[in-house]
Each structure stands twice: as structure tokens, then as C-alpha cells.
Structure 1
Amino acid sequence: MIAKAGKPFTEGEFVKKCILQAANIVCPAKKGQFSNISLSANTVADRISDLSNDIYDQLCEKAKCFSVYSVALDETTDITDTAQLAMYVRGVDDSFEVMEELLTVIPMHGQTTAQEIFHKLCDVIENVGLPWKRFVGITTDGAPSMTGRKNGLVALVKKKLEEEGVEEAIALHCIIHQQVLCSKCLKFDNVMSIVVKCINQIRSRGLKHRRFRAFLEEMESEYGDVLYFTEVLWLSRGNVLKTFFELRAEVKAFMEKDGVSLPVLSDPKWLMDLAFLVDITHELNVLNKKLQGQGQLVSAAYDNVRAFSTKLELWKAQLSQTNLCHFPACKALVDAGTPFSGDKYVDVILRLQEEFDHRFADFKTHRATFQIFADPFSFDVQDAPSVLQMELIELQCNSELKAKFREVNGKADKLGQFLRELSPSFPRLSRMFKRTMCLFGSTYLCEKLFSTLNFNKSKYRSRLTDDHLQDILRVSTASSLRPNLARLCERKRCQVSSSKE
């Protein structure tokens, strides 16, 4: 409970006081027994370490059953400027059960070169007991040390697999990072510079910020404040722009009242640029949220990207015809009498489209595999790899299996049940399905872990040791594994607390 809440180990004493207060009311006769419970900082740290070790032991045991597995890696820097390397594993067993868990968090006190990261990865895989012959995929954040063609981590992993005589692994660049990089082609510096400048002027001084919030309250505005722009946060730009657009009249009135002239807030061309940016960043944020989430299949994530690319084609045609049905902010300005020229924004959509085609080339390479996995019964056999064509024909002609697939299609929890029936008769298709199921489409889990890491190892707990940090993260992020409390209790002897409060 303390680890999951991100509280210091010393909170154990506070928890004990709460227990004793509750016992004094609910069962005063038993208060003496509760007072014997030891919850000192050292005891809490030891218990969290025991829980972490038990989860790790379970992971090692489960890993023995993996038919195939893949890893996702990303790195960050903590409050003490120590590089922290996070590794997640996703494995699929013979029953098509998928498990994804934290492998480890490794502090990198020296250099974070590809060679160093590769050695750490090899050590972790060996310690868990995962054989290289079952390694099928690696997903990274796309940093040069990860994706370098000759000496990057991915290249070193491929060399290792070649030495082991194993089939080449699928290497992917995090689909969410790719999407964020695509959105950076939407420059519009003329818009962002003014928006950020206005927001900073309002929020940089406490008195001015308070006056602005009071002004919004007086005006009965829908929003109570403007938001700071933080470039590293995925959804920040869209949220900042939407709030600013809705409050543009109030911001203009407040700034003029404060003696600051902002003529661009009355410029129809600038306002239309702002409105377009609000609409397109909103759609990009919607896509980003769809790509997030635990347990997401790589084929489903890529389907969302393909759907967005198709939307871009539609928007390009509609903008050229001044059809603004999917651009509400632009439509609101046009309805108010602001002139609109679609050609400028068609070029922006075209540039975004080209960026998507370029960035997602690695996913496009495996498009046929993803489509066979998503719907093997409607895929054109002639477009399938030759090693799968015979089995694919037999599968598509099996009416019984086709009916069962239609029943479970779209239900990820029941998909494994259908795939289990394929194993004996369709070994090659079954292996391809397993390989696809165990791929990470993104490093979302690593990013989520880093949020937990920064919350725990903050400026108030900067002396938290590497071992304790890893124990906290393993316990707080475990999803499918739960500590075996009964077994842990059997191994412990009763230790009476010296504190009798």
C-alpha cells in the first residue's frame, strides 16, 4: 500500500497510529495485539523488498513458459541526474496467454552507449532465463543509441540473434513517439510564439494572474484559467491552444485593460491560423490517446494510424472545397464573417501526410502480417508470404473456424481461446500470430513507469537507493502478477514491535 501510493517508508509509523486509533474504537480488547505490529521505516523497506523479490521470482517462473517474447526499452534521467533504463517484457505462451511486466530498472551511472545498454539487456535476459531463440521483437524510443544502423542497440541485438542462428527480430520505433514527431511539422511559429508570450505574461506574476482569474470569473467564462505550454508533454499543445482560442476575447480585453496592445488578436488571418491549429492538434491528441494504454496489440495501434492517414486524405479534399464540417474552430470564425482560404491549409495537411508516410515506414513493412492477424479470413492469399499461403487457404475454407472467429472478433479477451484451436492444424500461422501478439507497439509502459519513478524519487526523496527504487517500481507497476502473501508470511517469524503507542 505504501509502495503503490508512492509514500516514504517512514509512513509505516503513521499507518500504525491509524490502525491503533481504529482498533481502539472497533475492538479495544485487541489493541495490544495491533501495537505489536512492527512498521518502522526499515521494516517497511524490507517488506517491500520481499514483495518485489516474490514478483520477480514469479516472472522468472512464468518466463519459462513463453513460446515467444519481445522487449521494450526507454531511458530517462532522475532528480539526481542518474540515467535510468527501463525494460519491459511481453511474452506469449502456448495457450496464447499474453503477459507484460517490468523486467527491470537499471541505473546507468556511467555512459549510456548502445554497447553498455546491450550488455545490460543480455544480463537481464540471462538472469530471467529467457532464451534468445524465442526473442522476436524490440521496441525503443528511437534515440540514436538505440537505432543506429551499425552500432545501435537494435543492430547489436540483430548481430546477437544472427550468431545464435535465430530468425531476425522485428524492430519498431515507438508509435507514440513517431506520432509526436509527425506533429512537429505543424510549425505555425507565428501562432505559438504569440500564444506562449500572452500566457507567460499573464501567469508570470502572481498579482496579474490572480487579477486575470478574477476577470474570467466576472465574465462568467467557461474556462477559469489559461494553461502553461510544456513541449515535452504529448497533449500540452492541443490543450493550451484550445483553451486560448476559447478565451481569446477575454485575453484581448484583459491585456488591453492592462495597457498591452495585441493587434494580432484582431487579425483575421492570424485568428484563422490559430483556429486551424486548434482543430488539427485536437485530432492529433485524439490519436495520441488511442495509441496509449496497457496491453494494446501492435496491429490495433497501427490501424489507428492508418485511419488517421485516411482522415488526412478526406480533410485535404474538404478544405480545398471550403467544407469545414470537421474543423469546428475554423467554422466558428467563418460563421462570424472571417474570410477563409483553404489552399494554405491543404499544403499543411499534405506535409503532415508525407510525414506520416515517412515516419511509419517500419510499421508499413509489416502491414501484411498485421492485417492477417487482424482478419485472416478476408486477407488476399496472393499477398500473403509464401510460407503461410497453404495454411491460410485451408483456414479461409474452414466454415466452422470462420464462424468462431466472427464471434470473438474485436474481443481481445476471447481471441486467445480461438487461437488455441488453430495450433495443431496451423503451426505456421499460429507462430505468426504469437509473434504479432507479443510485439510492443510503443514504449508507453516505460513512459508511465517514469512518471511513477519521478513521483517516488523526487527532491524530497533524492537519497532513495537504486535497489529500493526498483523494489517500489516493481511492486507499484505489477499488473498480472500478485505477491504470494501466504508464502511470504510462512517464511517470516513474528517480531514484536518495541513501539507501544
Structure 2
Amino acid sequence: MSYFVLLAIFITASTFNILCFGTIIAPIMSLSKKRKVDEECRVFQEKWSSSYLFTELNGKAVCLVCSQHVAVLKEYNLRRHYVSLHADKYDNFQGQQRREKVNELLAGLKKQQSVFTHSRDISDAAVKASYLIANEIAVASKPFSEGEFVKTCMMKAAEIVCPEKRQAFANISLTRNTVADRISDLSVDLDSQLKQKVKSFIGFSVAIDESTDITDVAQLAIFIRGVDDTLTVTEEFVELVPMTDTTTAADIFTALVGALDRVGVEWSRAVSLATDGAPSMIGEKAGVVTKFREKVQSANGGRDFWTFHCILHQEALCCKSLKMDNVMKVVIQTVNFIRSRSLNHRQFDSLLREKDHIYGLPYHTEVRWLSQGAVLRRFFDLREEIEQFMEEKGKPVLEFHSAEWMQDLAFMVDVTEHLNNLNKQLQWRNKVVTQ
């Protein structure tokens, strides 16, 4: 028989053996693959506690001595662990003595587990407290570093009121970075809730206001009020958009549309827009109101869309249009004479203390027009002391002796006080024009 014939027979036989082997082994392997430990319904038996010092915890066998767990709940595994690690020490315990030892080990394990659970509860409570305090810091517009000051105060109070709880207060993390992270998490969560709520609106209105902050950066505040099919009204602050460059109508409109698109509004459901009376807002040809109306009506098929001016802005214009300069000019000059000179201010405050007055005389700021009402009210209440002080300084206010001027002063006090009260009533949530 030639070499090539022998080689062919060998290859054929080898192939046959491999095929036969695969035919026989494949069913066995498939059976072994289907066999899973978690499907064998192995149950922990009570006798194993006494025999091998094990107990069941969360579906796993845990050693009462070293707290190690055995992955597969099988008697062989438990016995091997006990024999190799603990048999020399615990085989001497038999009968009642062994049962007592098992109970003692069980009690120790339960105590250890309760300590871990208590520690976890304390940790969760500390994190929750950290979020609550961070929220209060944000609502009060306080610096993030105030968290460390708050924690110092809490620790001082805990040392006196409840020394045993001192560690619980110490676990509350209120560092500057932590407070910043907490506030960021709260902001993300609120933004997510708003996006979900916006999807349910059957109609919504928008209010915007643009003003410059103390760093000379224009800030655009955007608010939304919507109602769902159950007539539940939701009023939320959407975003504060910094306008670092120009504040033209196009810039404001672009920022407004971007903020509303970010929360996912349905433009066809917009019904109104409220702004102040600035030209960039209400310009007939290229104002924000005109651009916003065109965008909404292109989405809703040309249905009605309403626009409103801010009521507070109209109040400011009303105050300016009263033309009571004969009153305000005298009041401002007198207040400035008293407040702008340190000596006059100290002497006037001393006079007020002698007459048991608990408040002084504030400045009037033209930008903060509501301060006009506070100045007029204080000026009217302290008119006798002001008249006395100005006469002592050789700067008598002759208008105090005019009945007509005093009537104008009283009228201005009443009007501005009414506007201030109205302003306070219009603030905060759930305030509508019908109220």
C-alpha cells in the first residue's frame, strides 16, 4: 500500500472519529449548558447551621465565624469551608454547648448587619440634609461658601443641645464645591421636570423681562405659565439668559426662542406674551412681540395671539406722569441734605433716638422707583423732626407751612403707598390679572 493511500485512510479515519465524537458529545454539552445553578432550586437547610456554622442571608450561605459567603448553595461547599478553616476550633463544641455557640454567632452577625444598615441610613440622611440646606442657600441667593458657616453653627448647637448626635451633623457635607454640586443637581432635576410638564400643556403664555445686573451684563428672564387638560396651572421660571453683547430685538428673540425650544414647547399652543414697554420689545416692525407673534401664528394657522405690557412697568410710567415735581423736588433736596453729610446724618439719627423713633430716613433711587413710596412715607411721618432739624441747621423748609403743599405731599404718600402694596400683591406665584 502506497504512502498516499495510507495518508488518505488516516485522514478519513480521523475525520470520522471527530464527527462521531462531535455527534456523541454535542447532546451532552448542550445538556450541561442548559444546567444552571440558579435553576436547581437549592434550599438552605437548617441543619447546616449546627453542622457547619452557616446561615442564609439574601439567598447566599454566609459563614457565622468569618462572614464569608459561598456562591453555590451546596452542602459539599459548606462542609469543605468548615473543615478547612474552622473545624479545629469548633469541633469541640457538641450538643447544647454547640447550639448556644451557634445562637451567639447568629446574634453577632445580626448586630453587625444592623450597624451597617444604621450607618447607611445615617449617610442617606446626611446627603438629604445637604441637599435641603443647599436649596435654602440657593433660594436665599447666598454665596455657596455659606454652607460651611451653616455647618459650623450646627456643630456648635449640637454640642450643647444633643452631644450624642454630633457625629450625625458632622457627616453633612457643606463645602463650597459640594453646595455647588447639590444646587446643580437640583437645577437639572427641576429642568427635567419642567420638560416633562411642558409636554402636557394644551396652552401656555410667556413673560420676559430684560435688565442689567450689577456687573453690567444684561440678563433676560423668561417665565412660562401653562395649563394641561385637567386645568392644572403650572407657572415656572425657564431660564436666565445672559446677553453679553447687544440687546437688540433680534438678540432677545433668538435667546427667547432658544430657551423655549430647549424645554420642548409646542409653538402652536402659545397664546400670549407679556413684556415691558421697551422699544426693542414692542416695536411694530421688528420688535420681539412682532417676531414672536409671527412665529406662533405660522405654527397655529393664524389664530389669535395676545400681547401684554407688564403692569408694573405701567405703574412706573404712571408715577412719572403724575408730574408732582413740586413735592418730590423739595423732598429729595431735604433728604440729600440730611443723608449726604455724615455729621448731619449722625445728628439727625440722634434726634430721632431722643424721640424714640426706631427707623431713619432712606435715600430715594430713581432706578428703583418703588423706593419713592418708602421715602415719602418716612418723610411724612418724620415731618416734625425734619422741620425742627432743618431750622436748627439754618435751612428751613418753607413748604411745611403751606397747607396746599402738605396736601400734595399727603396725596403722593397715599398714591405711592397704594402702588407699592399693589406691587407686592402681584408678586409670587399664581397671581392673575383678575385677582
Q: When the two structures are superposed, what TM-score results if normalisation uses the length of structure 2?
A: 0.63
* Cα-to-partner distance string for 1:254-273 (whole Å, 9 max, x where unaligned): 11111223323223333333
Matched, 1:157 2:321: no
Aligned to 2:6: none
Distance 2:257 2:246 in 1: 17
Aligned to 2:66: none
Match of 2:314 among 170, 178, 181: 178
Distance 1:34 1:216 in 2: 45
Aligned to 2:370: 235
Shift of 1:48: 1.1
The alignment yields a C-alpha RMSD, in angstroms, of 2.4
Task: Report the AA paired with residue 260 of structure 2.
Answer: I
Change (3 A) 1:223 1:27: closer
Match of 1:146 among 281, 284, 289: 281
Distance 1:263 1:60 in 2: 62
Task: Report the AA paired with residue 58 of structure 1.
Answer: Q
Distance 1:43 1:272 in 2: 57
Gaps of 5+ in 2: 1-135
Aligned to 1:375: none
Matched, 1:71 2:206: yes
Matched, 1:209 2:348: no
Question: Which secondary structure state, in structure 2, belongs to the residue aligned with residue 184 of structure 1?
Answer: helix
Aligned to 2:398: 263
Asked if the contact 2:297–2:305 (Cα under 8 Å) also holds between the matched residues in 1, the reply is no
Task: Report the AA paired with residue 376 of structure 2.
Answer: L
Change (3 A) 1:287 1:22: closer
* Cα-to-partner distance string for 1:284-311 (whole Å, 9 max, x where unaligned): 44444444442112233xxxxxxxxxxx
Aligned to 2:12: none
Question: Which secondary structure state, in structure 1, belongs to the residue aligned with residue 286 of structure 2?
Answer: coil
Question: Which secondary structure state, in structure 1, belongs to the residue aligned with residue 434 of structure 2?
Answer: helix
Distance 1:18 1:215 in 2: 38
Task: Report the AA paired with residue 189 of structure 1.
Answer: D
Distance 2:263 2:242 in 1: 18
Shift of 1:14: 3.1
Alignment of 1:212-227 (within 5 A): 212-219=348-355, 224-227=359-362
Shift of 1:52: 0.7
Rg comparison, structure with higher value: 2
Distance 1:210 1:139 in 2: 46
Asked if the contact 2:208–2:222 (Cα under 8 Å) also holds between the matched residues in 1, the reply is yes
Identity rate, percent: 51
Change (3 A) 1:205 1:17: same
Change (3 A) 1:227 1:298: same
Task: Report the AA paired with residue 194 of structure 1.
Answer: V
Distance 2:235 2:294 in 1: 25
Aligned to 2:331: 195
Task: Report the AA paired with residue 208 of structure 1.
Answer: N
Distance 1:289 1:212 in 2: 31
Task: Report the AA paired with residue 95 of structure 1.
Answer: T
Question: Which secondary structure state, in structure 2, belongs to the residue aligned with residue 191 of structure 1?
Answer: helix
Alignment of 1:269-284 (within 5 A): 269-284=404-419
Aligned to 1:109: 244
Question: Which secondary structure state, in structure 1, belongs to the residue aligned with residue 222 of structure 2?
Answer: strand
Gaps of 5+ in 1: 301-501
Task: Report the AA paired with residue 152 of structure 1.
Answer: G
Distance 1:95 1:158 in 2: 27
Shift of 1:92: 0.4
Question: Which secondary structure state, in structure 2, belongs to the residue aligned with residue 56 of structure 1?
Answer: helix
Question: Which secondary structure state, in structure 2, belongs to the residue aligned with residue 156 of structure 1?
Answer: helix
Distance 2:177 2:420 in 1: 44
Shift of 1:274: 2.3
Question: Which secondary structure state, in structure 2, belongs to the residue aligned with residue 298 of structure 1?
Answer: coil
Match of 2:261 among 88, 103, 126: 126
Shift of 1:33: 6.2
Asked if the contact 1:118–1:156 (Cα under 8 Å) also holds between the matched residues in 2, the reply is yes
Distance 2:390 2:383 in 1: 11
Change (3 A) 1:2 1:247: closer
Q: When the two structures are superposed, what TM-score results if normalisation uses the length of structure 1?
A: 0.55
Distance 2:143 2:237 in 1: 22
* Cα-to-partner distance string for 1:71-112 (whole Å, 9 max, x where unaligned): 110012122211111101101011111110110111111111
Change (3 A) 1:105 1:283: closer
Shift of 1:3: 1.8
Change (3 A) 1:212 1:130: same
Asked if the contact 1:71–1:139 (Cα under 8 Å) also holds between the matched residues in 2, the reply is yes
Task: Report the AA paired with residue 174 of structure 1.
Answer: C
Shift of 1:27: 6.3
